[in-house]
Structure 1
Amino acid sequence: MAEKNLGVPVLGVLGGMGPLASAQFMLRLTLLTPAERDQDHIPAVLWSNPRVPDRTAARLAGGEDPLPALLRGIRGLEAAGAGAIAIPCNTAHGWFEGMQAATALPILHIVDAAEAELLRLGVTPGPIGLMGTAGTLAMRLYQERLEPRGWTCLVPEPAEMDRLVSPGIAEVKANRVAEAHGPLAEAARALVARGARAVVLGCTEIPLGIAAGPALPFPVCDTIDALARAALHWAGK
């Protein structure tokens, strides 16, 4: 096994959902690592499969089940010697239980990572904004995990999803990152106007669009960075 041969933990990254978000995760994992030389970084294996069936379509429109493709990726990461798995896709966590049941490796949950990031930013339990794909919001991935811990999730109105959030995510997936900033930033500001003390960017495409323009004047939780920090914590960094 690669993990034993290297003598240090190997992080498996189940990615490709989408490819740019996975590449950004690897970049942020590297930049957030306290390192002075190559050897200080975490060994990692990226399984980037952009052919995983669309997660939102699977959940909302009877589309193809992504779980078999997700499990193939997990098997590949196991064979590569991974000691834990990070999935830089929020919506894929709708199949978290099925994935975790199929492997003995720990899967780092992105919602738990987001909560830790909020606390790191000094945001305590209370009202927060939540942006994400229609699938993530419909599955209530954040609400069911965070509300018992004292968080209240405010989500975009259906019209805001249709006009701002979903088009912004689509722009990032089409590599038109700069065009995504305006609609995504407008949606985030609307959540703060309704009482959110911070906004969770609960789709890993959204941080890329938000970062493509002026910084927002309120705390935002970048779930790419949050998951990278969780991976560093797992690896003892």
Structure 2
Amino acid sequence: MTRAPIGILGGMGPEATILLQRKLVEAVPASDDRDHIPLLIDMNPQVPSRIVHLIDGTGEDPGPVLAAMARRLQAAGAVALAMPCNTAHYYAAAITDAATIPLLNMVELAVDRAAQMIGPGGCVGMLASPALRRVGLFDTAFQARGMSVVWPADEGKMLAAIRRIKAGDSYNEARQTLNTVSAELIGAGAVMQLIACSEFSIIADSVAADVIAVDTIDLLVDAIIAFSQANRTHP
């Protein structure tokens, strides 16, 4: 049995893409190289800034660049697409319109997992980019399933932490921010919290104690493995 390649729309940021690859390698039971999942990775840090486009309202639309990446990956032989950047999922329609292969959508995966864990009436705390709060991507999806969402009060603090991680600075300040904000969300009623920024996935162990934390990168890893297993073919 052989595995068909999964196409990764990467580079947003590069370290988050490497994190996804490392988690995949660790998650697949393997006794030989051939047991691992083939990946076609378009590591493109030149994708226009999602933060600038969504928060500042300026800058180039990332959608056409992401669409071009999707077409390249499909032409190269990918049978499905994955993108380890939560905010870029705002442009998911541009990707799915450009390709005929499925996109393993982290927003949908997160909502499904929360519905399983806490169900209607539950409250989810968002550890994510303020850009996602502005566009309501997760809010709309959770509300459609009868769940509520609570966000950190200080958007500037969250944005500064994301930028520090992207810049490769010491993670100490960003870790403190994530821990403090996570504790605040507990106080707001969000015992289940969603790590929905791949920069925060890098420091996911910094959430407050006693939090049920779900990392969207982990959900994407699970989805890639499940898709790959279901689509294995005879050579």
Using structure 2 for the length normalisation, give the TM-score: 0.89
Which residue in the other structure is 1:103 paired with?
99
2:204 matches 1:235: no
Which stretches in structure 2 are left out of the alignment for 5+ residues?
231-235
Q: Is the 8 A contact 2:182 2:208 kept in 1?
A: no
Distance 1:50 1:224 in 2: 18
Distance 1:24 1:42 in 2: 15
Distance 1:210 1:175 in 2: 16
Which residue in the other structure is 1:3 paired with?
none
* Of 7, 10, 16, the match for 2:11: 16
- Tell me by how many angstroms 1:189 deviates: 1.1
Distance 1:171 1:210 in 2: 15
Equivalent position SS for 1:59:
helix
2:50 matches 1:55: yes
Q: Deviations over 1:63-96 (max 9, x none)?
A: 2111121122112211221000000001111111
Which residue in the other structure is 1:75 paired with?
71
Q: 1:111 to 1:161 in 2, by over 3 A?
A: same
* Of 168, 193, 203, the match for 1:175: 168
* Of 87, 92, 100, the match for 2:88: 92
RMSD over equivalenced CA pairs, Å:
1.9
Which stretches in structure 1 are left out of the alignment for 5+ residues?
1-5
In structure 1, give the amino acid aligned to 2:161: G
* Of 28, 37, 42, the match for 1:42: 37
Q: Is the 8 A contact 1:130 1:202 kept in 2?
A: yes
Q: Is the 8 A contact 2:125 2:192 kept in 1?
A: yes
Q: 1:134 to 1:220 in 2, by over 3 A?
A: same
Q: Is the 8 A contact 1:180 1:210 kept in 2?
A: no
2:57 matches 1:64: no
2:142 matches 1:146: yes
Using structure 1 for the length normalisation, give the TM-score: 0.89
- Tell me by how many angstroms 1:192 deviates: 1.0
- Identical residues among aligned pairs (%): 31
